Copies of this chain bind each other. A is one copy, B any other.
């Protein structure tokens, strides 16, 4: 008999169906057992009445352990008390495997234990909800760019050179002949694909060998990186804003139940509206210095510095929307940034800071288009000249103004879900001391 999925049960009221899944929870009372079945698309309560099934099936139903795999035959009945509007009146039940001593019980477990059992933990309601939100965010991001005629042009994972320094790179032995480095960003390659396709994006895993153990860091994380020819840093603020609004709308539409499972304050997401404030770095410095005077920030922030986590949190707390900061000091930005001709100490970089202390989720800006300037930058940053010739070719042959940005998916998921740590936003997180399972 063909399987019906739990998220489709509402279309089968009154019908006899076969469900295949796992026991999420169960209770019994006299002649009744109430197994809760999950199948990955939802959870439904089943009712096993002693009079409706064989003695053997009834005894089995009573003795099943958590996460036992089972096939349930029964009739779909409307039920107003149920979160999904239906329950199953069981006529028969096949136990595929009676599972005993499932390690993750409804009681509290420590994080290390749960992370060691990540392959099982993802079956739990909250983890399940987070990863479904992740799915929807990724789908939304791709749809957003595809609908605007961007071409997906994935950039290589193995790169011969570093985009921004080598200290945070993972090194790979490439057939004994060469060293390869795992990409930190597809940006340089995106600049080539944007010159070919006008509008392009890459979306893949990126890697940082950072020895930091914070709630915002993974060694392996996914990033979407659009790049647009003939676009300015201001266009990127427009694009990033539109993308975020598109994501929020989609998540609210498709994942409201999951947000409720996560006890997310949904009103915060519902209030996100354009335009997002656009704050010049000079102004951000003033705000941070005021924060220090008021005693809200420990250190006095000086012009020229890069924002730390407390700075980002304080800045974004002054606004009720995500905020763009632009015109960062050139000295703290990558070699490839375009410079403001009227303020040569400023790079045309943009960051988007998420509200509620989630920090930077978008970073990007306008790329330098002048060959001579970039040749000097490659030298000034001590980069291996030879490895950057292909990149400089993009300025030799039809150079155009162009801009792009990157958004880290895991931080975006953490923000949407309102959860503390990025380790729960990816199926199998990789961190400083975490390579398993």
Contact = CB atoms under 8 A, between A and B. Distances in A.
Interface in A198-218: 198-200, 204-205, 207, 209, 211
A3 B193 contact: no
A96 interface: yes
Interface in A168-206: 170-175, 177-178, 180, 182, 189, 192-200, 204-205
Given A220-B156, A222-B154, A398-B99, A198 B39 contact: yes
Contacts of A400: 20, 22, 69, 96-97
A196 B41 contact: no
Number of copies: 2
A2 to B, nearest CB: 11
Interface stretch (A119-127, A243-251, A281-289, A344-352): A119-127
A160 interface: yes
Given A171-B172, A204-B204, A396-B99, A198 B5 contact: yes
A154 B426 contact: yes
B102 A397 contact: yes
A220 B157 contact: yes
Interface in A85-134: 96-97, 99, 102-103, 117, 119-120, 122-123, 128, 131-132, 134
Contact of A119 (B68, B99, B122, B390): B390
A198 B120 CA distance: 13
A40 B205 contact: no
Interface residues of A, number: 94
A435 B174 contact: yes
Nearest to A22: B398
Given A205-B205, A398-B22, A149 B7 contact: yes
A303 to B, nearest CB: 34
B399 A97 contact: yes
Nearest to A71: B230
Nearest to A123: B196
A146 interface: yes
Contacts of A3: 230
A319 interface: no
A437 interface: yes
A427 B21 contact: no
A142 interface: yes
A192 to B, nearest CB: 4
Given A123-B196, A172-B182, 19 more contacts: A3-B230, A7-B149, A40-B151, A40-B229, A41-B149, A96-B399, A117-B393, A128-B196, A131-B153, A132-B151, A134-B152, A135-B152, A135-B153, A157-B207, A157-B220, A158-B220, A170-B174, A171-B173, A175-B211
Q: Which 5 A-B pairs have the closest CB atoms?
A: A40-B198, A390-B437, A40-B197, A119-B192, A69-B398
